[in-house]
Amino acid sequence: MTVSLAGASGALRTQFFVLGVMFATWGVHVPTVKAHYGLGEQALALAMLAGGVGALMALAQAGRIVGRFGPSNVAAAMGVLCCASVASLLALPFYAALLVVMLAFGITGSLLDVAVNVEATEIERQSGRPLMSGFHGMFSLGGMAGAGLGSAAPALGLTAQGHLFVATGLGAVAVLVASRAMLPVEPAAAGEKHPLSIPRGPLLLLGVLASMGLITEGAMYDWSVLFMQQERASDASTAALAYASFSGAMAAGRFAGDWVRARTSPTPLMRVSGVLAAAGMALALAVPSPVVALTGFALVGLGLSNVVPVLFSAASQVPGVSPAHGIAAVSGVGYLGMMAGPPLIGLVAEHSSLTAGLVVVVVFAVFMALSAKRAMRGA
């Protein structure tokens, strides 16, 4: 089947959108999962850690898998399995089962992530112009849509499990249809025959910066809704807007990101991103108002909007490294940060408060800004 560049671009936007919806669906149900399994913050953080472990396991083989089967096949299979894992979040009664589900979510979500980013670099290469931020904007738009559906679910008469089934069922169908229109990528361009090794040089530096950004971004996915409920006494519908405000601002920043990237070098862009994210998180934590918190989360989303697109685009262009290997290497180091972030925040929250735990986000965002020049030097 002949696939046009425009058709492949549309299909890829759908894949990014569905990936965003799945992460948002998990994010808005963090309080539900916490209540369903009777968890404290530390046990909840360990469940998040299981997702990070699964992601890291998958990323160790992502270059080989995407290279062998191609982005479209990997996206189809992992997209459906990712949706199935999210659908299972509340379907089982035991905490051990939740850990298995989160492990599966991490594996399938990360493989889908690498597959669509490899496809994005190929489309960007063939088109000859920056497109990565726009593709990632669809992930954020999906996050906003997923959070919006989660917020509206009670008014629509949907139970938590009903919402999971609706969101994941529609997502699985969309992934399967979109995968048929994705651009075929030759194995040599898609990945390598060797598993992911410890990155060095430019890839390691890019990965360190990705880790800082993903810790901050992951905190919004995993803790913002719970923060609104526990620290700002918001109801479930209002709390879900925390994820929506973050994702909406991130989507806006990413849709404008290709224009910004064409006019701004990576180092100052990374610096501004870190400062804006730190300021937004500090505002949300310092002022005891739900409206101010939502505004702060939006600033965090805007600040982080172009960090991952810039880093992945740079990783895909490192000389002597295939796009899949470069993206997987940077993602792997980034996910190490995401693995450490939620348990650290949960540990602090368990012994103090979630507000104190989220101060870590401010520290990481500031560190990301301060280290931008050195980390982007090899990009």
3-state SS track over the chain: CCCCHHHHHHHHHHHHHHHHHHHHHHHHCHHHHHHHHCCCHHHHHHHHHHHHHHHHHHHCCHHHHHHHHCHHHHHHHHHHHHHHHHHCCCCCCCHHHHHHHHHHHHHHHHHHHHHHHHHHHHHHHHHCCCCHHHHHHHHHHHHHHHHHHHHHCCCCCCCHHHHHHHHHHHHHHHHHHHHCCCCCCCHHHHCCCCCCCCCCHHHHHHHHHHHHHHHHHHHHHHHHHHHHHHHCCCCHHHHHHHHHHHHHHHHHHHHCHHHHHCCCCHHHHHHHHHHHHHHHHHHHHHCCCHHHHHHHHHHHHHHHCCHHHHHHHHHCCCCCCCHHHHHHHHHHHHHHHHHHHHHHHHHHHHHCCHHHHHHHHHHHHHHHHHCHHHHCCCC
pLDDT digits (tens, 9 = 90+) for 63-101: 788 888 989 999 999 999 999 999 999 998 899 999 999
Q: What is the mean pLDDT of the chain?
A: 85
2: pLDDT confidence band, cut at 50, 70 and 90?
Answer: low
Query: Is residue 171 pLDDT above 90, yes or no?
Result: yes
Q: What does the pLDDT average to over 222-251?
A: 87
pLDDT at 286 (0 to 100): 95
Instruction: Read off the pTM.
Output: 0.76
Q: What is the pLDDT of residue 52?
A: 81
189-221 pLDDT, tens digit each: 444 444 445 566 777 778 878 887 777 877 887
Comparing 229 with 128, the larger pLDDT belongs to: 229
pLDDT at 198: 58
Higher pLDDT, 39 or 192: 39
Q: For the chain, what percent of residues have pLDDT higher than 90? A: 34
pLDDT at 191: 45
Average pLDDT over residues 8-19: 94
- pLDDT class for 379, splitting at 50, 70, 90? low
For the residues 10-15, what does the mean pLDDT come to? 95
Q: What is the pLDDT of residue 338?
A: 66
Mean per-residue pLDDT, 261-279: 89
| pLDDT computed for residue 189 by the predictor | 47
Name all domains of the chain by residue range, CATH numbers in brackets.
5-375 (1.20.1250.20)
Between residues 57 and 198, the one the model is more confident about = 57
Lowest mean pLDDT among 21-35, 46-60, 282-296: 46-60
